[in-house]
């Protein structure tokens, strides 16, 4: 008897249609699974056999062959177990043949016959829909994330017995309809810009960064609240649209970071790797590639605290995503691409001791300061648009509670500026001012005569590079958008110049 069941493979973000074929013929009793398998898939034969036995199904003493086709795709992971079990039950005649039309089966089995949660269910169900499947059988614990896909009938199962009952019309999954809504809250809940006293200039820099998705560097002495400020950045970013939410959730699904209670992720992520992070933890990798911190920050914030403490090799990894907004990992089986489009927020002390230019505490000479700033590579600094300088807080500011602006107010201003940018860039690939290329500057950021003059004097006075010059204009464009002004005025340019970033060559912090 021959039968097959449809399932999907996952490699990076890439899903492919797979057929789990089962054949039972007369001959010596053997049970083998073939089809370019990795170690964990080879073990599937033992898991499936035992799970079937413990669910009351004994395989007949025949020559049983299971093939995962097509054979040129390497099969990794444990999500094929359930499909193999269903294919076997079909071949044994335990399941009516035509009952699974248009259905894809995904899930891992435990020896007891329990169906266990697997990673990457969301991208697999999305691909199943694209391939024309109308139904998916998935583990119960993956129901929430799979529910994010519209127009797909889901059959969540907890045990192998549920699967058999389903095919005989005796299984009604207990879906808590109240709770299939797709809400997830990350740990930014409860934090608010209101909590930070003083640091008005930094707050303004964060607002501009959020409005144009500009990369930002916060410099200031230890304890001035740089980390606190950075953690509040996600609370003022514009809300992700549905497509972005799906992109974020897909990455977390593959990384195995969604719990059974997590549906669609509706907030922009905030990821802060420690400065001891390795290049691989940032880029992602592994035999069956998993996304790294850069991709987990996709559509959100990647926060690097104590920037000069990161190793050069680790920071080098950031070059590709900051240039192309993706991370590509080369493997024997081919290239694997993860999206990595994030807002980089970095924080650092101004010098080794941390107190420059406070001469009462800092003994560093200008050469020391230059060397400290020089630890950050030029190409990275080149990608940072804005620099906020945190100061030691005055006693008056420390005590002043309740006068601080809250995240909600700032977010409303940001959303307005983002709406203006959507309108401006309609029909192009650009979404935010920070993405304007050098060739498009004149088109989107027109400067009047006075403004040109101001930029010319800034260019000469601060010895700007061409890149630095463009950065200031792009930031000024965002400031004008926050102001609701179509024209970039002189005041917008002056403010942008005030937030210009440091330069590793001069160390002019």
Q: Summarize as ranges the residues that interact with Zn ion (CB under 5 A).
A: 351, 353, 356, 362, 364
- Residue number with CB closer to Zn ion (344 or 509): 509
Minimum Å distance from CB 509 to Zn ion? 10
Please name the residues in contact with 322: beta carbons below 8 A apart, sequence gap of 6 or more: 215, 344, 380, 383
Q: How far is CA 429 from CA 160, 305, 320, 435, in A?
A: 47, 31, 19, 9
Q: Indicate the residue among 245 and 351 with the shorter CB distance to Zn ion.
A: 351
Nearer Cβ to Zn ion, position 4 or 356? 356
Residue 37's SS3 state is strand
Looking at the Cβ atoms of 23 and 368, the one nearer to Zn ion is 368
Q: Tokens 């248009």: give the residue.
A: 102
Calculate the CA 221 to chain-centre distance: 30
Cα gap 130→118, rounded to integer Å: 20
Find, among 285, 246, 233, the residue nearest to 129 by Cα.
Answer: 246
What is the smallest separation between the CB atom of 218 and Zn ion, expressed in angstroms?
17
Going by C-alpha positions, the residue among 487, 500, 498 that lies closest to residue 452 is: 487
Nearer to Zn ion, 359 or 426 (CB): 359
For residue 389, the minimal CB distance to Zn ion (Å) is: 15
Give the phi and the psi of residue 37 in degrees, each rounded to 5: -105, 145
Pick between residue 371 and residue 416 the one whose CB is nearest to Zn ion. Answer: 371
3-state secondary structure 318-344: CHHHHHHCEEEEEECCEEEEEECCCEE
Tell me the torsion sign for CA atoms 315, 320, 323, 327: negative
Smallest gap from Cβ 392 to Zn ion, in A, equals 14
- Helix (H) or strand (E) holding 190, with range, is none
87: Cβ–Cβ under 8 A, 6 or more apart, which residues? 3, 4, 5, 20, 21, 22, 66
Q: Evaluate whether 301 touches 345 at the Cβ level (below 8 Å).
A: yes
Residues 39/45, Cβ–Cβ less than 8 Å: no
To the nearest whole angstrom, how small is the minimum distance from the Cβ of residue 357 to Zn ion?
Answer: 9
- The least CB distance from residue 224 to Zn ion, in Å, is 14
Whether the CB-CB separation of 232 and 197 falls below 8 Å is answered with no
Name which of 104 and 369 has its Cβ closer to Zn ion.
Answer: 369
**Which of 75, 14, 86, 13 lies closest to 43 in space, CA to CA?**
75
CB 207 within 8 A of CB 482: yes
For Zn ion, which is the closer residue by CB, 133 or 356? Answer: 356
CB of 250 to Zn ion, least distance (A): 45
Output 307 or 488, the one with its CB closest to Zn ion: 307
In whole angstroms, how close is the CB of 347 to Zn ion at the nearest point? 16
Least separation in angstroms between residue 362's CB and Zn ion is 3
**Is the torsion defined by CA of 196, 199, 200, 204 positive or negative?**
negative
**Least CB distance from residue 507 to Zn ion, whole Å?**
12
CB atoms within 10 A of CB 52: 21
Q: Which is nearer to Zn ion, 292 or 308 (CB)?
A: 308
When the beta carbons of 284 and 354 are compared against Zn ion, the nearer one is 354
Q: Which two tokens stand for residue 321?
A: 């995503």
Compute the least distance from the CB of residue 368 to Zn ion, in Å: 7
Nearer to Zn ion, 353 or 391 (CB): 353
Of the two residues 253 and 349, which places its CB atom closer to Zn ion in the complex?
349
Residues with Cβ within 8 Å of residue 324, at least 6 apart in sequence:
none
User: 186, 427, 141, 388: which is closest to 299 by C-alpha?
Assistant: 186
CB 250, CB 291: distance < 8 Å:
no
Quote the least distance from Cβ 354 to Zn ion, whole Å: 6
Measured distance CA(289)–CA(336) in Å, rounded: 7
> Please, what's the largest Cα pairwise distance for the chain?
90
Taking the complex as a whole, how short is the minimal distance between the CB of residue 428 and Zn ion, in angstroms? 45
């Amino acid at each position: 008897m021959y039968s097959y069941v449809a399932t999907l493979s996952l490699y990076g973000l890439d899903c492919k249609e797979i057929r789990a074929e089962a054949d039972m013929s007369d001959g010596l009793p053997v049970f083998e699974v073939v089809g370019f398998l990795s170690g964990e898939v080879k073990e599937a034969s033992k898991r499936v056999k035992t799970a079937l036995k413990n669910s009351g199904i004994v395989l007949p003493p025949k020559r049983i062959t299971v093939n995962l086709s097509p054979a040129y795709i390497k099969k990794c992971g444990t999500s094929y177990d359930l499909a193999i079990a269903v294919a076997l039950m079909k071949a044994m005649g335990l399941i009516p043949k035509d009952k699974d039309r248009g259905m894809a089966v995904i899930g891992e089995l435990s020896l007891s016959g329990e169906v266990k949660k697997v990673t990457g269910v969301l991208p697999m169900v999305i691909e199943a829909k694209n391939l024309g499947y109308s139904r998916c059988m998935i583990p119960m614990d993956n129901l929430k994330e799979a529910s994010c896909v519209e127009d797909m009938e889901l059959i969540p199962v907890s045990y192998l017995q549920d699967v058999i009952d389903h095919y005989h019309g005796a299984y009604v999954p207990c879906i808590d309809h109240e709770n299939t809504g797709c809400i997830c809250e990350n740990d930014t809940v409860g934090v608010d810009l209101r909590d930070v006293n003083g640091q008005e200039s930094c707050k303004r820099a964060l607002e501009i960064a959020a409005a144009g998705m500009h990369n930002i560097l916060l410099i200031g002495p230890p304890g001035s609240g740089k980390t606190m400020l950075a953690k509040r950045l996600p609370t003022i970013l514009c809300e992700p649209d549905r497509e972005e939410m799906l992109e974020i959730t897909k990455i977390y699904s593959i990384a195995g970071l969604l719990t059974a209670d997590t549906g669609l992720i509706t907030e922009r992520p905030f990821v802060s790797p420690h400065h001891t992070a390795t290049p691989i933890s940032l880029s992602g990798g592994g035999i069956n590639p998993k996304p790294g911190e850069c991709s987990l920050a996709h559509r959100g914030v990647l926060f690097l605290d104590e920037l000069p403490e990161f190793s050069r090799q680790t920071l080098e990894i950031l070059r590709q995503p900051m240039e192309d907004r993706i991370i590509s990992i080369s493997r024997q089986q081919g290239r694997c691409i993860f999206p990595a489009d994030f807002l980089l927020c970095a924080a650092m002390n101004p010098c080794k001791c941390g107190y420059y230019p406070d001469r009462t505490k800092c003994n560093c000479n200008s050469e020391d300061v230059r060397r400290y700033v020089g630890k950050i590579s030029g190409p990275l600094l080149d990608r940072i648009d804005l620099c906020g300088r945190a100061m030691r807080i005055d006693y008056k500011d420390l005590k002043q509670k309740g006068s601080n602006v809250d995240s909600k107010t700032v977010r409303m201003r940001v959303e307005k500026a983002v709406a203006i940018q959507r309108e401006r860039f309609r029909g192009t690939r650009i979404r935010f001012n920070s993405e304007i290329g050098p060739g498009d500057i004149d088109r989107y950021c027109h400067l009047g005569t006075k403004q040109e003059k101001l930029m010319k004097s800034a260019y000469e006075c601060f010895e700007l590079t061409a890149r630095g010059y463009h950065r200031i204009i792009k930031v000024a464009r965002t400031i004008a958008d926050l102001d609701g002004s179509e024209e970039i005025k002189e005041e917008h340019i002056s403010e942008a110049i005030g937030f210009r970033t440091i330069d590793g060559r001069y160390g002019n912090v």
